[in-house]
Amino acid sequence: MPAVMGILNLTPDSFSDGGRFIAPERALAQARRMIAEGADIIDIGAESTRPYGAEPVSVAEELNRLRPVLGEIVSLGVPVSIDSMKAAVVAWALDTGAVVANDVWGLQGDMEMAGLMAKRHLPVVVMHNRERVDADIDIMRDIADFFARSLEIAERAGVSRGNIALDPGIGFGKTPEQSMTVLARLAEFRAFGLPLLVGASRKRFISSVVPSEPAQRLGGSIAAHLLAARGGARIIRTHDVAETVQALRVTAAIEDRR
């Protein structure tokens, strides 16, 4: 069964839960709740990376949001991932006890990221992203080429290949149709020989099938994540930990009886 990564957004403008957990006491309570529900990793982000309308955040502001809570969440005893595209923020978070970097620009945004992760000898999630959506491209080829570039950057910097996971970036720089193609053909990325992470939670492609607001997309999220697990995803990133853990465990229990 895949590991489950619980999403904790310390932001006012994330697409699904912006503002809900920006207060430190609420963030800590949500982390405790997700751990009790079965989260294997807590992924903390202090800057919205939603594809449309997110406000850029300075390093100082990102750290201001993280400082009151990160150490306390680390002390809960579950591995913590820092969701940031800035090497300076990641460095601080790792110093504070985070053990994974989740980079939505796959080592191709902040060019200091790869060197940082090489020095720290800690895992990094390399996510595919694009500056703009292009419905006419071969999205599978685009992702594969992006991953190849990221892995070349990682190798040059000295990042251990065993410390890299790949995320195809559902909803990032993709049409809804492209996101669904990626989920349908996820197994093709197993050719890289690296763990795959998938975060389809509450994403817009679900609404393209069944019109819905983010909070109404639990069923679609679970369907996508179960298919991702079947396609080889080793980590599932989700807002809805309890429901996702239940779905994965029941699926695994049924499949064990084949």
- Residue 1 and residue 229 in contact, taking contact as beta carbons nearer than 8 Å: yes
Please pick, among 237, 249, 257, 258, the residue that the annotation labels catalytic.
237
Catalytic residue flag (residue 203): yes
Please pick, among 86, 174, 203, 204, the residue that the annotation labels catalytic.
203
Q: How far apart are CA 176 and CA 78, in angstroms?
A: 33
Q: How far apart are CA 228 and CA 183, in angstroms?
A: 6
Catalytic residue flag (residue 149): no
Residues annotated as catalytic are 203, 237
